[in-house]
Amino acid sequence: MTLKIAVLSRDSELYSTRRLLEAAQERGHVAQIINHLKCNLEIDPAGPQIHYNGSYITDVDAIIPRIGASVTFYGTAVVRQFEMMSVFTVADSRSIVHARDKLRCSQLLSKYKIGQPKTVFTNYSKNVEHVVESAGGTPVVLKLLQETTGIGAVLAEDKAAAESVLEAFNGVKARVIVQEYIKEAKGTDIRVLVVDGDVIAAIKRFNKNVDFQTNRSSRKKSKPVNLSDAEKQMAIMAARALKLSVAGVHLIQSNRGPLVLEVNSSPGLQELESVTKLDIAGKIIEFIERSVKKEEE
């Protein structure tokens, strides 16, 4: 079965975009890159349509969204339009939005009783002392809700620093969450890729310089890791809570077991593939094949 697969990406030179395109072509499919920001969405009584590069998209079987954080609104609108056209998507629009919203993600993880650092969010509360205490006391991590790759995260070592940073964020109306700092993790984290309910790959990342910001990949060295049953189950449960068939789940180890830091709807493949030597892009294409076949049966 030959499929027509589109990778929604703004940059054809990105590693993950190229690998997904190559993996699809290697398996005999017709693959293309569509810049979602250049799609025009047309709402018509006859049905939804997408106009792109001078013509209408009519023959795509599946899409792989690679939607950047800065264009979440329009990117997910494009994904939603494909959904309305009955095109299979690796990540549906709602799940992308939920994963991108740190507060919503934490709420969903909490609903399903999935371990995570204690997190507090307020509407610019002036009682910053209580907010810090509610997160377990100092040190605490303060994160901008829109931050990515560790940018916008601050470690407050003591009460005075925490209150000062929180007041500063409140003063500029910046939405932040206050999160428990897991000291025993010692700057290490585990990246897990879940595809269709199974753990496909996992790496452990170590800080060259001890730093709480576990998302700063430039400061990390990595190696493959064999997950414990608890870690595997937690990663699978986190992906399921966000209703993501393909998810990057970031874990850290604590004294009370593994905890989820973040769930990513379009995880980067470069570090995972280079460290594990696995054809992860191929696994994602295999998932698409199974899913489209199932829908046609």
What domains are there in the chain, each with its CATH number?
4-91 (3.40.50.20), 119-181 (3.30.1490.20), 184-265 (3.30.470.20)
Q: Tokens representing 180? A: 């428990």
Tens-of-pLDDT digits for all 297 residues of the chain?
899 999 999 999 999 999 999 999 999 999 999 999 999 999 989 899 999 999 999 999 999 999 998 899 999 999 999 999 999 999 999 999 999 998 999 999 999 999 999 999 988 777 888 888 899 899 999 888 765 544 567 889 998 898 888 888 888 888 888 999 999 998 899 999 999 999 999 999 987 554 554 444 445 689 999 999 999 999 999 999 999 999 999 999 999 999 999 999 999 999 999 999 999 999 999 999 999 998 887
If you count them, how many residues does the chain have? 297
CA 286 to CA 282: how far, in whole Å?
6
Per-residue confidence (pLDDT) for residue 143, from 0 to 100: 85
Residue 193 confidence (pLDDT): 98
Quick one: pLDDT at residue 215?
Answer: 43
**What single string gives the DSSP state of each residue in 67-102?**
--GGGHHHHHHHHHHHHHTT-EESS-HHHHHHHH-H
- Distance between CA atoms of 132 and 166, rounded to whole angstroms? 9
| Spatial separation of the C-alpha atoms in residues 233 and 222, rounded to whole Å | 22
**Adjacency order of strands within the sheet including 176-180:** 119-121, 176-180, 140-144, 153-156
Of 48, 129, 55, residue with least CA distance to 87: 48
Hey, which residues does 221 pair with through a beta bridge? 206
pLDDT of residue 214: 45
